[in-house]
Structure 1
Amino acid sequence: MKKLFKETGLSWLWLAILVIIVDQASKIAVIQQFELYDSKVITDFFNLTYVRNHGAAFSFLADSGGWQRWFFTVIAMVAVVLITYWLSKTKKDQLILVMGFNSILGGAIGNLYDRIAYGYVIDFFDFTIPLYGRWPAFNVADMAIVFGAGCILLDSFINKDNKQESKS
């Protein structure tokens, strides 16, 4: 067991834990400082706005009557189990891949906690993008998930090149 945590991607679980702590601390700060839908202008294109997301990304299925809470909770739980398994099978020296998996793991757990504890996910980063309009609000967990997905994608390109070099 000790070897598992020393030699695999599980040795980087501290990154997932850090994501969870920062995510939950930021959400607690928003809950304590804002009423629902309160907004504080930071710049012309960025606000802090407290909203509740009862759906998935971009509020997908947010108005579906409540069943989606449990559907997305189950999906998140399955994702947490799968990512933890993949981390246990990934060598710790595959740094970009391990960072990606742990970032997604921390983000998934952060949003999963919200769904279980509150029935919705707390979002608050609110951007307006020129020529597009208002981007859906998001949180630290969402940023970690996107960062992690980018790391996994980057690793797939890097490993593809490494595998081709080793074949020749």
Structure 2
Amino acid sequence: MRKWLIIAVLVIVFDQITKLLIQSHLQFGEMITLIPGCFSLTLTYNLGAAFSFLANAGGWQRHFFTVLALAVSGFIIYTLRRHHQQTRFALALSLILGGALGNVIDRVAYGHVIDFILVYWKNWYYPAFNVADSAICIGAALLVIDSLARPQHTREKTL
């Protein structure tokens, strides 16, 4: 169990360090192009959830998403305790846990989530995201892979 929590903590640390670096080097909205035409760093703030969902909801969403992430984190820790020996499943949960808590730290400390990774092609832009969001997405993909790779009789016992 300890190694899975260490992975979650490493995600949180890497997430927070990258956000602090971006905040110290960029002004809000400023962009540094790393790969012309497809990849930049930019400092943006997300008041909502994924893709700025509920960003303009008046402020209650900050508390809602904080409580939701903490509740989900508690459930993840409970599930990790029960299934820590299932490597892919536990890794997925660890990444999601670290990502969720990384964004909770932002919501509590700043009232918004700091995003800075911008991927685009010509006039198409993917919404800006951060290391925590990346860990959550990778963890979610691993959960799908794990559920597809696991024999049917063990899928039913996972949760």
Same fold (TM over 0.5): yes
Q: CA deviation at 1:101?
A: 0.3
Unaligned segments of structure 1, at least 5 residues: 1-8
Query: Which residue number corresponds to residue 61 of structure 1?
Result: 54
* Residues 55, 63 of structure 1: 8 Å contact kept: yes
Which residue is 1:25 aligned to? Answer: 17
Aligned pairs (5 A) from 1:79-90: 79-90=72-83
Structural mapping, 1:145-160, within 5 Å: 145-160=136-151
Deviation at 1:64, TM superposition (A): 1.1
| Number of aligned residues | 154
In structure 2, the partner of 1:3 is: none
SS of equivalent to 1:65: coil
- What letter matches 2:70 in structure 1? M
CA deviation after TM superposition for structure 1 residue 161, in Å: 5.4
Alignment of 1:64-75 (within 5 A): 64-75=57-68
Structure 1 SS opposite 2:117: strand
Whether the aligned pair in 1 keeps the contact of 2:4 and 2:84 (CA below 8 Å) is no
Segments of 4+ in structure 1 off by > 4 A? 161-164
For 1:148 and 1:137, how far apart are their aligned partners in 2?
Answer: 19
Mapping of residues 133-152 of structure 1, within 5 Å: 133-152=124-143
Secondary structure of the equivalent of 1:125?
A: strand
| Counterpart-to-counterpart distance in 2, 1:154 and 1:34 | 37
Runs of at least 5 residues in structure 2 that lack an aligned partner in the other structure: none
Distance 1:12 1:137 in 2: 27
2:37 is the counterpart of 1:38: no
Shift of 1:163: 4.5
Cα distance, 1:157 vs. partner? Answer: 1.1
Deviations 1:104-154 (A, max 9, x none): 000000000000000000000011136x71110000000000000111111
Structure 1: how far apart are the matches of 2:84 and 2:126? 37
**Aligned equivalents of 1:89 and 1:133: distance in 2?**
43
Q: Give the CA RMSD over aligned residues.
A: 1.6
**Which residue identity lines up with residue 39 of structure 1 in the other structure?**
M
TM-score, structure 2 as length reference:
0.91
Contact 2:41 2:117 in 1 (8 A): yes
Cα deviation 1:61-109 (Å, max 9, x = unaligned): 11111111111111111111010110011132x1100100000000000
| 3-state secondary structure, aligned to 1:27 | helix
Tell me the TM-score normalized by structure 1.
0.87
Q: What secondary structure does 1:42 align onto? A: strand
Q: Answer with 1 or 2: which has the greater Rg.
A: 1
Amino acid at match of 1:157: L
Question: What's the secondary structure of 1:144's corresponding residue?
Answer: helix
One-letter code of the match for 1:54? L
